[in-house]
Structure 1
Amino acid sequence: MPYWLYVLIIVAIAYAVISIALYYLQDYMLFKPEKLPQDFQFYYENQETKEYNLETRDGAVINGLRFMPKGKSKGVVLYLKGNSQSIKGWGKFAVDFTRHNYDVLMVDYRGFGKSTGRRSQKHIKRDLQMVYNKIKEQTTEDRIILYGRSLGSGFATKLASTNYPKMLILDAPYYSLTKVTARYAPFMPLSLLMKYPLPTYKWLKYVQCPIHIIHGTHDKLIPYKTSVKLSQIQPKLTRLHTIIGGGHKNLNNFESYHKMLNEIINKTPEEIDLSTTSIHVNHGKKKN
């Protein structure tokens, strides 16, 4: 056997082994769940909460927490978290909305916290639609805000694309999870291997509510340019909010983040009569 053919066979076998490993191990690489015992008691200082357990049609249980404001509720924020820990830790971010008198509902994906069931992209999408439907039983859609953080941004976009919430807020979103993964495995056929492609850019095309994208300029996991690209998909509906110096996990440590959030969820947008503006005025060319 020629040496070059021997090397080619070895490379092909190695490539196939790595591909198979990526396919079967991606759940462990993408998700970092914290599991909680079923009798775990949630507690947050100065926060009033109520725990829920929703059973899915395939027998899984989705565990969630509702954080209630002290004043009259302005609406409900469905907060879809990132890929690590459980709502035990993520719950501390609910205060950013309850302080503005919004109810906050957080749920754990399958395999996180107290939630059970076999995890897949299809199952998670179905679970979250069930949660959204439960919220609609309690209030109208024009009072529902979808907030997706990192991993949750893709699922939040999917929900917004098939429903009619008040607005969609994306915190450090990705163009697609396939694109994010491709940065670390550029030579692998990820379009075929990814069980969680989460094509945010595709779903964003069908969103009909206002879209707010928040991203830090120093995000090393999901580059800021990703949000710039996403903001161009539906420019008339989208506003990009930039946190100068913000990373992937620390936007809440910036005063500008909280000012932006306050403006997004509390300000009533004013209609602009474009005919009274300079929108059609062109700068004259300088004559030689």
Structure 2
Amino acid sequence: MFSWVYILLAVVVIYIIISVALYYLQEYFIFKPEKLDKDFEFYYNNQTVEEYNLKTRDGAIINGLHFKVEKPKGVVLYLKGNSKSIKGWGKFAVDFTRHGYEVVMLDYRGFGKSTGRRSFKALKRDLQFVYNKIKEKVNEKYIILYGRSMGSGFAAKLASINNPKMLILDAPYYSLTKVAAKFIPFMPVSLIMRYPIPTYKWLKYVNCPIHIIHGTHDKLIPFKSSVKLSKIRPKLTRLYTVIGGGHKNLNNFESYHRMLGEIINSRMKRINFSETSIGVNHSSKQVNA
């Protein structure tokens, strides 16, 4: 009898120790930063780019890149995924500058040249800080929010409390907590997650057009997560499917670039649904003369 009690107590203690460890060490699993020397110089072929450093109210430095074009149609705030630095992510700016849009990228705290103690609250505050800086020079109706993977959640958060032209989510999480639960199903994930990134909650408050792009062969974030997200604000949302696309290779598909071009160059047109087939009752019965 007592042996079973000891075993049960041992299991409980081990469970608590693992939970505490996951709470404090989860950053090592979530974030995969690449750090750059202060004197590192960014360079991209055929791109006009300017590096910037913004100092936050707590003394952190947010480092980023501003890709410029002549007579811009607007600006894309590109929020990258959870790995590397903007040194590598900068290559994707051409997908927007080629359409006449400037691009602003940034490294999260602890990534690249950015500094500061990282926390969920600090990350959200930093992104709003950068968004506000853009608003000082660009009307919101010309700002596009683009979030890739982990960045899609933060992009949804920004869109939920601001009024950008549109929100584009690339391979978005439904919730990082739910993703984590798949890998550690027996742990109290909802209690220990310091970076829950609840995209689905923030999406409820977005009032601009929402465009979701996802590959059907994404093994990290299943395509069904985007299907679920698309149902949250269905009247504002369009879901784009990249057949055969994985999590990191959508830029290698021609269909992705066609979709992206259609999205950022499109204009939302109001439809008079009374003139469409919605609600029309089609009957096979013949009316007697």
Bin the TM-score by the shorter chain: over 0.9
Residues 229-240 of structure 1 mapped to structure 2, 5 A cutoff = 229-240=228-239
Q: Distance in 2 between matches of 1:93 and 1:33?
A: 18
Q: Distance in 2 between matches of 1:285 and 1:38?
A: 74
Q: Distance in 1 between matches of 2:22 and 2:247?
A: 24
**Structure 1 residue 223: deviation in Å?**
0.5
- Uncovered stretches (5+) of structure 2, i.e. residues with no partner: none
3-state SS in 1 of match to 2:52: strand
**Structure 1 residue 271: deviation in Å?**
2.0
The residue number in structure 1 matching 2:204 is: 205
The runs of at least 4 aligned residues of structure 1 exceeding 2 Å deviation read 282-287
Q: Distance in 1 between matches of 2:224 and 2:285?
A: 34
Q: Distance in 2 between matches of 1:269 and 1:208?
A: 13
The residue number in structure 2 matching 1:7 is: 7
Letter of the 1:113 counterpart: G
Q: Distance in 1 between matches of 2:181 and 2:68?
A: 40
The residue number in structure 2 matching 1:40 is: 40
**Structure 1 residue 286: deviation in Å?**
8.5
**Structure 1 residue 144: deviation in Å?**
0.1
3-state SS in 1 of match to 2:18: helix
3-state SS in 2 of match to 1:175: coil
Residues 113-152 of structure 1 mapped to structure 2, 5 A cutoff = 113-152=112-151
**Structure 1 residue 273: deviation in Å?**
1.3
Letter of the 1:232 counterpart: K
The superposition leaves residues 262-283 of structure 1 with CA deviations (integer Å, 9 ceiling, x where unpaired) of 0000022322111111101134
Residues 254-265 of structure 1 mapped to structure 2, 5 A cutoff = 254-265=253-264
Residues 140-179 of structure 1 mapped to structure 2, 5 A cutoff = 140-179=139-178
**Structure 1 residue 245: deviation in Å?**
0.8
**Structure 1 residue 159: deviation in Å?**
0.3
The superposition leaves residues 120-151 of structure 1 with CA deviations (integer Å, 9 ceiling, x where unpaired) of 11001000001000000111000000000001
3-state SS in 2 of match to 1:178: helix
The superposition leaves residues 49-79 of structure 1 with CA deviations (integer Å, 9 ceiling, x where unpaired) of 001100000000000100112x420000000
The residue number in structure 1 matching 2:252 is: 253
Letter of the 2:128 counterpart: Q
TM-score (norm 1): 0.97
**Structure 1 residue 285: deviation in Å?**
7.7
The superposition leaves residues 17-37 of structure 1 with CA deviations (integer Å, 9 ceiling, x where unpaired) of 110111111001000000001
Residues 39-78 of structure 1 mapped to structure 2, 5 A cutoff = 39-69=39-69, 71-78=70-77
The superposition leaves residues 76-124 of structure 1 with CA deviations (integer Å, 9 ceiling, x where unpaired) of 0000000000000000000000000100000000000000000011001
Alignment pair present for 1:219 and 2:231: no
Alignment pair present for 1:28 and 2:28: yes
3-state SS in 1 of match to 2:65: strand
Q: Distance in 1 between matches of 2:191 and 2:16?
A: 13
**Structure 1 residue 248: deviation in Å?**
0.5
3-state SS in 1 of match to 2:183: coil
Q: Distance in 2 between matches of 1:158 and 1:77?
A: 16
Q: Distance in 2 between matches of 1:50 and 1:282?
A: 59
Percent identity between the aligned chains?
A: 73
The superposition leaves residues 171-222 of structure 1 with CA deviations (integer Å, 9 ceiling, x where unpaired) of 0001111011011001111111000011111110000100000001111111
Q: Distance in 2 between matches of 1:241 and 1:5?
A: 55
Q: Distance in 2 between matches of 1:268 and 1:117?
A: 39
Task: State which drifts further: 10-19 or 220-229.
Answer: 10-19
The residue number in structure 2 matching 1:181 is: 180
Q: Distance in 1 between matches of 2:18 and 2:12?
A: 10
TM-score (norm 2): 0.97
Root-mean-square deviation (CA, aligned residues, Å) is: 1.3
The residue number in structure 2 matching 1:85 is: 84
Q: Distance in 1 between matches of 2:285 and 2:223?
A: 36
- Uncovered stretches (5+) of structure 1, i.e. residues with no partner: none
- The number of residue pairs the alignment matches comes to 286
Q: Distance in 1 between matches of 2:261 and 2:79?
A: 19
